[in-house]
Amino acid sequence: MHPYVLAFIGGGLIGVSAVLLMAFSGRIAGISGIVAGLLPPKPADDRTWRIAFILGLVLAPTVLAVTTGDNRIAPPTVGPALLVAAGLLVGVGTSLSNGCTSGHGICGISRLSPRSAAAVATFVATAMVTVFVVRHVL
């Protein structure tokens, strides 16, 4: 299958997940929020579904590996020092803005949230500038 068709179908599956989670539990499928709710200093009370969701995420490539022989996970493109710096920025940024690509990008945009639209425009812009500077300026 053409990679773009597969990408659209994969995106559709993410949408199915978001719709089911809203239909059954009334919750937003935002990964940064789901994870942050498990963290100190004050973890959320509803930890069961959060832990189960994260287990489900990790289980997906594992099942793919067993059934198709390919977990479809590619290696990182940068070294450990940059990964740590990037991880810190992603953690701080998504917590400050209460959402990431899934919560703001998919769920928020689908709810026509002005906050999410502003967040997506901002993080896509700074990400593009970052890649431009790293690849074409430095």
Partner 1 sequence: MRELIAGLSTGFIFGLGLCLSHMTDPAVVQGFLDIAGAWDPTLAFVLAGGIAVTFIGYRFVLRRKQPIWGTKFPPPVSGMIDTSLLSGAAIFGIGWGLAGYCPGPAIVSLASGRRAVILFVVAMLAGMIAVRWMRMSRAAGLRQATS
Give me the least distance between CB of 37 and partner 1, in Å please. Answer: 10
Choose among 133, 138, 112, 99: nearest CA to 122: 99
State how far the Cα of 72 lies from the Cα of 65, in Å rounded to an integer: 8
Give me the least distance between CB of 65 and partner 1, in Å please. Answer: 8
Please, are residues 18 and 25 in contact by the beta-carbon 8 Å criterion?
no
Give me the least distance between CB of 125 and partner 1, in Å please. Answer: 7
State how far the Cα of 48 lies from the Cα of 35, in Å rounded to an integer: 12
State how far the Cα of 53 lies from the Cα of 31, in Å rounded to an integer: 9
43: cis peptide before it, omega within 30°? no
